[in-house]
């Protein structure tokens, strides 16, 4: 049987280390145009056959030694080029403009105003919402460039030299929350680059199945399934590509799962026709080494290594370590990108699929990851083509490390500190600002603000925080709270499991779950003497997890949810996370 092969890329995305680099290529492919990602320093002679180039964002500063650059000769090819974020700064820097550190950062929502309409901005009118993630700015455009638009913080938010077909924007047109982003990319791809439609996403399944067969090379595949969309679709692809009797799986109950999760997984894999799935209890194997750990990176590493240790035991018991077996995983693109998978990328957090033990298996050639080139929305599209039930495909994403990274821990006690803007909580969470990782305290407001953009404005103004939350219910005033030493105990995990079940039930009953992409519930060790923990609600809307918008819920639903959560023993307060991604990650750890 023959299989389709991809055409030569019309668009090449030059990777400068940005967290959204592969998202750019995927957005191009949504226009049915084949795109590939290559290193930013790829020689110009290897790019001359492309119809266009896009230079991605990145975590570096162009004026620092060792920062990513592009071959200067690409600007002499007369091939259209679009710089995005760091790509704009790089274009300015290498072509004679000036780039310097801005007066303050710009992370998340901003508003773009056109100054000079050009072909890149055809059909874009008025004041437009865009998505920013930068601290450096282009202070002076290079010779030949016109300033196309600005934001309140960034005087050169877009620039262009139509004579040379060189364009750049400081914002991210590839993310869903840049409202004119699709139109800007469409203008660049079709009007400026002259691309033609040559890519049909429906052809991906045969390609992936062939990749599975090549990777397995006649060996059988063993999966550790989670019940989430990714591992379910990956497992089903392997069932199709290989003899179903050669695809086995195990669900590991880590003790870090949601209420009723094990039963859900068992029932739904049976519906898919999987004959070789078994449930393995391993609560103590995970909880014991995590008992005294508070550092989020260490948590992820321990969980990843325990997965390897547990899987080795399972593989040995079933003779799966023999040469005719390999390991399958549902790893998708954001997992590898946020872990610093790209050569120039900054590590935001370590995913459990990318810790050292898993890397050893990859290096040994004993792994197949059918979905490692896809994003969540594409995985769901593939799942629908495979006729996987919607109840599985539309599940909200759940992190591989489970509730462990939603149950924050602390070694020492600390007081909540009043500031001019609000209250600094004595706990830290992970953020992503300017394509780099941050680990900073959260700022708490005493009440839900009317201004939906206040969180972004506060984080851009206050360098020491990366997340803003609002108190929506409490047994104790914010000023009277403090953090206390807390660890991953059974009691705290059960408290979080109970809270998560309440939130999921009410979200489903009210229909709110349909308006969000994911709804993490986070337990933080902040409270009073009688109630040592508080809860944070984190409903977000996203397409693929690379960016996300904080979503507010109806006040009546929020009041009911808050009342039920405050009734849980040991819960002092309920907070609502108002922060987009960036500057905060979706998960707190």
> Annotated active-site positions, please?
85, 172, 174
DSSP string, 443-474: EEESS--S-TTHHHHHHHH-TT-SEEEEEEEE
Distance from C-alpha of 452 to C-alpha of 35, rounded to nearest angstrom: 36
Residues sharing a CB contact under 8 Å with residue 214, sequence separation 6 or more, in sequence order = none
- Per the CB < 8 A criterion, the answer to whether 222 and 327 are in contact is yes
Of residues 173, 171, 166, 174, the one with CA closest to residue 192:
166
DSSP state of 539: -
Distance from C-alpha of 62 to C-alpha of 99, rounded to nearest angstrom: 8
Distance from C-alpha of 237 to C-alpha of 205, rounded to nearest angstrom: 8
* b/e code 544-582 from CB counts within 10 Å (16+ = b): bbbbbbbbebeeeebeebbebbbebebbbbbbbbbbbbb
What's the token pair of residue 455?
């969180």
Distance from C-alpha of 10 to C-alpha of 533, rounded to nearest angstrom: 53
Residue with tokens 């071959």: 71
DSSP string, 218-242: T-EEEEE--SSHHHHHHHHHHHHHS
Residue with tokens 């964002």: 57
Measure CA of the first residue to CA of the last residue in the chain; give whole Å.
Answer: 46
Distance from C-alpha of 379 to C-alpha of 383, rounded to nearest angstrom: 6
Which 3 state secondary structure label does DSSP give 415?
A: strand
**Using CA of residue 89, residue 92, residue 96, residue 102, what is the dihedral sign?**
negative
């Amino acid at each position: 049987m023959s299989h389709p092969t991809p055409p030569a890329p019309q668009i090449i995305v030059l990777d400068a280390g940005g967290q959204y680099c592969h998202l750019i290529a995927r957005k191009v492919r949504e226009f049915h145009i084949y795109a590939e990602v290559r290193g930013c320093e790829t020689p110009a002679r290897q790019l001359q056959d492309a119809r266009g180039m896009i230079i991605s964002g990145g975590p570096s500063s162009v004026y620092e030694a060792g920062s990513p650059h592009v071959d200067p000769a690409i600007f002499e090819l007369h091939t259209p080029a679009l710089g995005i974020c760091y790509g704009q700064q790089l274009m300015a820097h290498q072509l004679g403009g000036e780039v310097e550190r801005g007066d303050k950062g710009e992370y998340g929502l901003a508003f773009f105003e056109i100054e000079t309409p050009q072909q890149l901005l055809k059909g874009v009118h008025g004041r437009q919402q865009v998505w920013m993630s930068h601290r450096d700015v282009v202070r002076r455009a290079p010779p030949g460039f016109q300033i196309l638009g600005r934001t309140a913080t960034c005087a050169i938010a877009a620039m262009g030299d139509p004579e040379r077909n060189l364009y750049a924007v400081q914002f991210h047109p590839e993310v869903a929350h840049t409202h004119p982003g699709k139109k800007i990319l469409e203008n660049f791809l079709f009007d400026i680059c002259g691309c033609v439609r040559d890519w049909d996403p429906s052809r991906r399944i045969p390609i992936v199945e062939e990749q599975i067969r090549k990777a397995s090379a006649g060996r059988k595949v063993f999966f550790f399934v989670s019940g989430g969309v990714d591992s379910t679709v990956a497992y089903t692809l392997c069932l199709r590509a290989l003899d179903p009797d050669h695809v086995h799986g195990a669900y590991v109950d880590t003790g870090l799962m949601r209420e009723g999760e094990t039963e859900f997984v068992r029932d739904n894999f049976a519906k898919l026709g999987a004959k070789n799935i078994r449930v393995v209890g391993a609560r103590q194997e995970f909880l014991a080494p995590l008992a005294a750990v508070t550092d989020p990176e260490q948590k992820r590493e321990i969980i990843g290594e325990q997965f390897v240790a547990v899987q080795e035991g399972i593989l040995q018991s079933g003779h799966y370590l023999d040469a005719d077996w390999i390991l399958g995983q549902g790893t998708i693109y954001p997992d590898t990108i946020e872990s610093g998978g790209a050569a120039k990328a900054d590590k935001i957090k370590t995913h459990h699929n990318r810790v050292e033990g898993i890397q050893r298996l990859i290096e040994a050639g004993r792994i197949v990851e059918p979905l490692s080139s896809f994003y969540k929305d594409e995985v769901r599209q593939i799942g629908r083509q495979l006729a996987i039930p919607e109840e599985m495909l539309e599940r909200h994403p759940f992190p591989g490390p489970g509730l462990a990274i939603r149950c924050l821990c602390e070694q020492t006690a600390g007081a909540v500190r009043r500031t001019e803007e609000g209250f600094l909580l004595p706990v830290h969470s992970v953020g992503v600002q300017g394509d780099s990782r941050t680990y900073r305290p959260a700022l708490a407001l005493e009440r839900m603000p009317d201004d939906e953009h206040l969180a972004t404005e506060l984080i851009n103004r206050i360098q020491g925080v990366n997340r803003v939350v609002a108190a929506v219910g409490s047994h104790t005033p914010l000023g009277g709270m403090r953090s206390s030493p807390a660890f991953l105990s059974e009691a705290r995990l059960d408290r979080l499991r109970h809270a998560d079940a309440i939130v999921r039930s009410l979200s489903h009953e009210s229909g709110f779950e349909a308006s969000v992409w994911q709804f993490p519930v986070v337990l933080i060790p902040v409270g009073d003497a009688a109630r040592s923990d508080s809860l944070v609600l984190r409903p977000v809307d996203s397409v693929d997890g690379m960016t996300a918008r904080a979503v507010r819920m109806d006040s009546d639903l929020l009041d009911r949810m808050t009342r039920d959560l405050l009734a849980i023993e040991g819960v002092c307060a309920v907070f609502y996370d108002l922060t987009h991604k960036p500057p905060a990650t979706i998960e707190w750890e």
